[in-house]
Amino acid sequence: MSLRTPRNPQPPGLMARGLLLLTGFGGSLLGSCSGAPVAATPQPSVEDPFDASTEVGMRILRARLLREQLEGSWRIEQPERPQEFGSALDARLLLPNPFGRPFEMIEPLQGYIVEFDWRIERWLPFAAAEVLRHRQVAALDRLLEFQIGEQIESRLPLPLGAPGEASAVWRVRLAATIRVDGIRIDGEELPVSKVRLSPASFLVVPGNWEPLAEDPFGSLERLIAIPNAEVDRHVLVAAAMVPRARRDEAIQFLIDRFDQAPNLRRLDTMMAALRFLTGRDFQENPILWKEWWEDRKMGGS
């Protein structure tokens, strides 16, 4: 399944392989876009308090339970590898039927709308990370009608910045919400206006990252000793490639090599790598980093 432009004319946006991209703010690292978000058809909310003893309350309760089942199974597939700046994420929406009986998501007049919400931690060498938020909007190209055991899949190419992106690493959380006009099941229409998909999390890095991932500790050892400023971002990428299970080892590795940094800029980059690995921020103060690590090894937080 791919994407199409919504049936009703919308403000012009950037068309990319069948994907209508809109954004909530002018321009972004994900690609410059224009226009306004597509408005969803108003629906009764299943979020509001209700009286389950009434007929309307029972319908809202059934709708809520069905939506929760969908949100427990619909997801964005987790990318297996880091992505690269200047490429497009091949995002896959996986929408299985969890009910054991046929059903249909009722299509709004403008078509099914998918809202992609990005949260990007943009990590620069020798600087604090900044958090960016971005929304893209797309339209699906087919009815969401499900037979027993059926899974609908959609592959959506989403651009990932420009090849010249100055960051060393993006840490991305990508969420998605499908806007609908209700659910039709067992001969009944129930008020479901949206279904949230389980999000995906992944890294975006410069090209040629594979050698750093093959031996992140050896790469860090080699790169830390090179004084050239253009190496700083590769130090941070190598730290990002450390497997989660070996992060404590990487923290010790970096702290032990503070005295080997060839210049202050490299030392700042090593501490930026520690912020990436730990979620802590002792700024550019190696003494505080060492004290925190020693305390943690003794059982502190």
Residue owning tokens 């923290």 = 251
pLDDT at 198: 98
Measured CA to CA, the distance from residue 272 to residue 113 in angstroms comes to 39
pLDDT at 53: 62
CATH architecture of 14-205: Sandwich (2.60)
State yes or no: pLDDT of 132 exceeds 70.
yes
Across the range 218-233, mean pLDDT stands at: 94
Quick one: pLDDT band at residue 245, thresholds 50, 70, 90? very high
State yes or no: pLDDT of 11 exceeds 50.
no
pLDDT in tens, 155-174: 888 988 766 677 889 999 99
Across the range 32-37, mean pLDDT stands at: 35
Token pair recorded at residue 200: 């995906």
Higher pLDDT: 10 or 225? It is 225
Quick one: pLDDT band at residue 142, thresholds 50, 70, 90? confident
Please name every residue paired with 95 in a beta bridge, in sequence order, or none if there are none.
152
Measured CA to CA, the distance from residue 158 to residue 115 in angstroms comes to 12
Q: Where along the chain do the CATH 2.60.40.10 domains lie?
A: 14-205
**CA distances in angstroms from 301 to 50, 291, 294, 295, listed in the order given:** 43, 12, 10, 7
Of 15-24, 53-62, 85-94, 279-288, the range with the lowest mean pLDDT is: 15-24
Measured CA to CA, the distance from residue 223 to residue 168 in angstroms comes to 14
DSSP 132-198: EEEEEEEEBSS-EEE-TT-EEEEEEEEE---TT---SEEEEEEEEEEE-S-EEETTEEE---EEEEE
State yes or no: pLDDT of 21 exceeds 50.
no
